[in-house]
Amino acid sequence: MNFILYVLLFTLYPFIVQSQIKLEKVTPKISNLWGIATINKDEILVTQRSGNVYRLNVFNKNIIKIEGAPKVYNSGQGGLLDIAFEKEKNVQRVYLCLSKVIPGNKSSTAIHSYNLKNNKLTNEKFMFISNKISSSGRHFGCRLAIKNEFIFATLGDRGTREDSQNSKNHSGSIIKILKNGNKYNNKAFTNSLSEIYSLGHRNPQGLSFDLKKNILWAHEHGPQGGDELNIILKGKNYGWPKVTFGKEYGSGRKIGIGTSFPGYEDPKYVWVPSIAPSGMIFYRGSMFPEFKNKIILGSLKYKRLHILSLKEDKIVNEQIFLENKIGRIRDIEEISDGSLIIVNDEYDGGVYRLFK
């Protein structure tokens, strides 16, 4: 549990001056961790896909299981997925994105809110439930981002690709809802469901605001090749499955009508072959000046971090970092001192802290 890995940066990250960083595992083995939310300068909340929430002090390593977490559909890629936290006045609020149990061994993607008090989730409110009910165990999406009075959330296509072009179906979309649970109509598409903000997504696994520019970025898994990074705009269609760089698994056959077509948004960046991108942040801290104002995201497939440099909202450089040092990286978060918190979602995974 208490190992610290020292890594010479010039061997892994060539443009950084020769110095040392530290990678420390701060929990015992915990299986299938998924989401991270920062509570304060010392503590985070982390979700476990089977249905648990833990409170962790990343410095003294004290870990507490939070009471009151909801029962979830823990099957395939589904379960208790992302988490968000904010403090308003003296109230600590937690938002969970999860696979809600539906009778008949089915599920639907949902968002719940809670008050956090004395390490217990209370005052449960059902903020959103997708109208897509399915027995599929894949493509849930379920990343959260908060901006002012709104919550944005990604919803995967649940394995039914045609739904991503159906504005009467929540799956395959990014939604925008009010934090207080009141009804809000985005009016993003003609006669569409009120919560839908954008369409044409396959399995979006990263969602983050560039708060300096007030721009929402998301990435999603393509099929065989074709993972995408996009700027998300209201009322835009991101193509899946009509427009994609991905191919059919196994056969490699073309999907849709091409990689670009009028009326569909082109991605800002594409990974071919796929990297299976995961949690994503814009780094704003001072501990790692070499990461400043860059996108950092995980790769589940290649077990590493990708550092993306931007210029005028275009990706101009990509660097690989921490390859095979942690395992499958599911989420990443920056805490107040500028260090990075990373979770491994494998059976013997856990939480790590990257710092200098």
% pLDDT > 70, the chain: 95
Nearest to 246 by CA among 237, 256, 238, 236: 256
Whether pLDDT at 200 is above 70: yes
Q: What domain count does the chain have?
A: 1
Determine how β-strand 106-117 pairs with β-strand 227-232.
Answer: unpaired
> Which band of pLDDT confidence, cut at 50, 70 and 90, is reported for residue 183?
very high
d(CA 44, CA 40): 7
First to last CA, the chain: 19
Segments forming the whole domain that contains residue 35: 4-355
Q: Identify the band that residue 20 occupies on the pLDDT scale cut at 50, 70 and 90.
A: confident
pLDDT tens column, 245-293: 999 999 999 999 999 999 999 999 999 999 999 999 999 999 999 999 9
Report the predicted TM-score, pTM, of the whole model to 2 decimal places. Answer: 0.94
Task: Tell me which residue has tokens 């005028």.
Answer: 312
Q: What is the DSSP letter of 288?
A: -
The neighbour count for residue 204, using CB atoms within 10 Å, is 30
Q: Find the angle CA(355)-CA(43)-CA(123) to the nearest 5 degrees.
A: 150
pLDDT at 65 over 60: yes
Report the candidate in 25, 26, 29 with the shortest Cα–Cα distance to residue 349: 29
Beta carbons within 8 Å of 90's beta carbon, 6+ residues apart:
none
84: domain CATH number is 2.120.10.30
C-alpha distances out from residue 4 to 91, 197, 332, Å: 36, 43, 18
Q: What is the largest CA-CA distance in the chain?
A: 57
Amino acid 19: pLDDT? 56
Place of tokens 């209370």: 122
